[in-house]
Amino acid sequence: DKIWGMMDDPATGRRFINEGLTRNALAQAVLLKRLQNGDKKPFIIYDEKSLGKFHNLNRVQRSLNGLNGIDGTMVKYDNLSELCKAFGADPKVVEDELVKYNAMITEGKDAQFDKPLERSGRKVEALDLKGPLFAMVINPRLNYTPGGIRTDLQGRAIALKDGKPIEGLYVVGEASGGLHGQERMTGCSMPECAVFGMIAGESAAQRKSI
């Protein structure tokens, strides 16, 4: 959902990244920026129209109500000056960046960072600077572990030594390994926990007592 807004470095007031990158690329860029700018957390700006493009509108409401975890709170501001004051950024510089950003989006080409201007059939649009505006810090956090113990289709742990199931030991959810490379597949956590939790439970119930 970062693709719908403009991300900004509070130390310079400038946009510094393609907001449509993968989560890993965004996380690495934000952490690098914090190393370079005195540990100031970058922030992202949206308008009301862009919030309506989020894939999870319930999460938007949770974020606006301070219920979306560490650094997950989004705040509504009446104007850009008020927003910039909250994040310690120069409002004149940020406004200049937004005007340039909007011009590129309207022209249909992000000449600065080459952000794709469409996702899931929805177009990225220029941000309405009249307000209200919405913003939140962008800060990576660990909320998923995409790797773990290898299992079979019954949820049994597989021994590293011989590749055979370990009798009586079941592994499910994020403690188990999965089909992940450098990027986590969105939406896989709950099915991984629930489905294999049930499968492992059934397997354990059918197992003969030793």
| pLDDT tens column, 95-150 | 999 999 999 999 999 999 999 999 989 999 999 999 899 999 999 987 777 778 99
pLDDT at 43 over 60: yes
pLDDT range class, residue 73, cuts 50, 70, 90: very high
For residues 65 and 131, state if they share a domain.
yes
Instruction: Give the mean pLDDT of 38-64.
Output: 95
pLDDT range class, residue 209, cuts 50, 70, 90: low
User: 155: left (phi > 0), else alpha (psi -120 to 50), else beta?
Assistant: left
The total of structural domains in the chain comes to: 2
Instruction: Give the mean pLDDT of 149-159.
Output: 93
Give pLDDT, residue 51.
Answer: 96
Give pLDDT, residue 200.
Answer: 93
> What does pLDDT average to over the chain?
92
CA-wise closest residue to 43 among 91, 97, 6, 80: 6
Give pLDDT, residue 188.
Answer: 76
List the domain range (segments joined by +) for residue 9: 2-137
CA-wise closest residue to 70 among 139, 3, 8, 146: 139
For residues 6 and 83, state if they share a domain.
yes
Top-confidence residue, 24 or 95: 95
Q: Is the pTM of this model over 0.85?
A: no
Lowest average pLDDT, out of 9-18, 145-154, 185-194, goes to 185-194
- Identify the DSSP state of 160: T
Please say whether the beta carbons of 94 and 13 come within 8 A: yes
pLDDT at 23 over 80: yes
Of 88, 108, 137, the residue at which a domain comes to its end is 137
For residues 19 and 104, state if they share a domain.
yes
CA distance 127 to 97: 11
pLDDT at 63 over 90: yes
Of 108, 137, 166, the residue at which a domain comes to its end is 137
Give percent of the chain with pLDDT exceeding 70. 99
**Residue that has been written with the tokens 């499968």 in this structure:** 199
For residues 127 and 189, state if they share a domain.
no
